[in-house]
Homo-oligomer: A and B are copies of this chain.
Amino acid sequence: MSSVEGAVSAVPAPTRRAVRRSRDDVVRVAGRLFAERGFHGTSMRDLGDELGLLGSSLYAHIGSKNELLVEIIEEGAGLFQSLADQVAASGTAPREQLRRLVVGHVAIVTDNLDRAATLLNEGRHLPEGDRGRIVAMRDRYQDAYRTVLAGGIAAGDFRAGLDVHVAATFVLSLLNALDRWYDPAGARQPEAIAELLFDFVVRGLEP
């Protein structure tokens, strides 16, 4: 019943058929490759291979390779921005705001490892015209930490002598290293990691 189609044909079946991918597929896989191999270490043909189509076919979905980088990074930066806005609007005490920042940051990184890694490591390859906008988002995010730390000092939760610039740099150093060692297959859950980080950070900040 099933022998006619292929058995007599001398023409071998194509090893791969044309596939249909969405724009989101392209952006998502690009994020993974940029994170793994770097922006300049990833060719459009590499990206096509990973999606099962030709490099040139990608241009049915996107305008340019740079566009992919900008979109991935801007989306990532937007996630952190939203977190900071939400925490600031919560009206909770500074120490609790810092806890929410840490927990939220860890959640964003662990849920978006590729995007976070691309944001942190490939930002320098952004086109001139887009870089300023994204640097401004990063600066605003750092400012959120400084504000919370300053509030905590005023409330007496954190040391009076603390330099908020330095302290914010230290806290973000810890948070921004997460993408380098977090293992999704590891035993420790994101919430547990966030707790360890918050505990370590608060000890460093307390009077």
Contact = CB atoms under 8 A, between A and B. Distances in A.
A113 to B, nearest CB: 15
A204 interface: yes
Interface of A is mostly: helix
Nearest to A167: B200
A125 interface: yes
A53 B37 CA distance: 30
User: Chain copies in the assembly?
Assistant: 2
Contact of A173 (B121, B167, B177): B177
Please tell me the size bucket of the interface on A. 20 to 34
Nearest to A125: B41
A170 interface: yes
A201 to B, nearest CB: 7
A204 B205 CA distance: 9
Contacts of A196: 163, 166, 170
Interface of A: 36-41, 121, 124-125, 163, 166-167, 169-170, 172-174, 176-178, 180-181, 196-197, 200-201, 203-204, 206
Shortest 5 CB-CB distances between A and B: which pairs? A173-B177, A40-B40, A200-B204, A203-B204, A40-B41
